Amino acid sequence: MIYGIGVDLIEIDRIRQAIERNGQRFIDRVYTDAEQAYCSQRSSYACYAARFTAKEAFLKAFGTGLRKGMRWRDIEVCTDELGKPYLQLYGYLQQQCQHHGLHHIHLSLSHSSAYAIAQVIIES
């Protein structure tokens, strides 16, 4: 059964500006160490933007936004051995998903030269 659906679209330039303006402080606040390592290998703002949209899309599907002790770093975009993206949750978000019986999170990411988009579907 579908619990929620979320989609987010962002201009890659917006993430570039945030990183250039706030540097490592922004990156450390939003992205896990694994996400930082993955994106630094690609030297691409699109990589950071796609992960940001995935986090936003998840919060929309979950229906809460970022509040009540939630942190950006509690949502991690990972990839399996074939390159398929998936979400790993930590902390309060992980506890809340378990509490609500939410076990399946589907993630799709894409980007062009100017935009990144993500869609999340959460199933119970």
**Domain with 99 in it: what CATH number?**
3.90.470.20
Higher-pLDDT residue of 27 and 92 is 27
Q: Look up residue 74 and give its two tokens.
A: 């509690």
Structural domain tally of the chain?
Answer: 1
Mean model confidence pLDDT for the chain: 95
Structural domain including 7 reads 2-123
Count CB atoms within 10 A of the CB of residue 86: 13
Q: Which residues are catalytic?
A: 60, 111
pLDDT category of residue 43 using cuts at 50, 70 and 90: confident
Global pTM? 0.94
CA distances from 60 to 44, 54, 80, 88, 113 (A): 25, 10, 24, 16, 24
Token representation of residue 115: 């935009």
| 28 is an annotated ligand-binding site residue | no
Mean pLDDT for the stretch of residues 61-74: 86
Q: State the pLDDT at residue 93.
A: 92
Q: What is the pLDDT of residue 69?
A: 77
